[in-house]
Amino acid sequence: MKIALSTDHAGYERMKKLKDGLELAGYACHDFGPAVFDVEDDYPDFIRPACEAIIAGGCSLGIIFGGSGQGEAMAANRHPGIRCTVWYGPSIAVEAVDAVGTMSTNPYEILKLSKEHNDANMLSIAGRFVTDAETLKVAILWLNEVFKGEERHTRRIQKLDNIGG
């Protein structure tokens, strides 16, 4: 599995550290981010090639960074076939997280659900809100989650992928 990584200046250092950590854990990574830190760079310029690599099949999944991760996710989700979720840090659900009313106290449940239910193929991390250690932990958790393939979720994903097309 090859992982597309990208960022703008706001996640530059954090992404480089994540790449090192993922490679030590045995993941192959392709860095689509800037070669040098430049506070004037624009995230769409770096997110686009990461998305294109996933769409073309050169990378299986992607992890991108920004200050909040929001703009990067918005840029990614403009590409048909990309389903990018945003992560700010651990959180606990205050209401049931599934159709049968099950509660979860897992602070990473939202990452799990992004893959199980939405088949997210890209994760946008809010680089200004998480630590390096936390970033590596959640990246590995997210990369190892799988889509459940339930009909209702597959149907919804097909509708997402057909919006605008």
- Least Cα distance to 17 among 127, 143, 110 occurs for 127
3-state helix, strand, coil in the chain (%, to 5): 40, 15, 45
- Whole-angstrom distance, CA of residue 157 vs CA of residue 145: 17
Around 5, how many Cα atoms within 13 Å sit in the side-chain half-sphere? 26
- Give dist(CA 2, CA 23) in Å, integer: 10
Residues annotated as catalytic (active site), given as ranges: 72, 117
Nearest residue to 127 (alpha-carbon basis) of 4, 3, 27, 18: 18
Query: Could you tell me how far CA 60 lies from the centroid of its own chain?
Result: 12
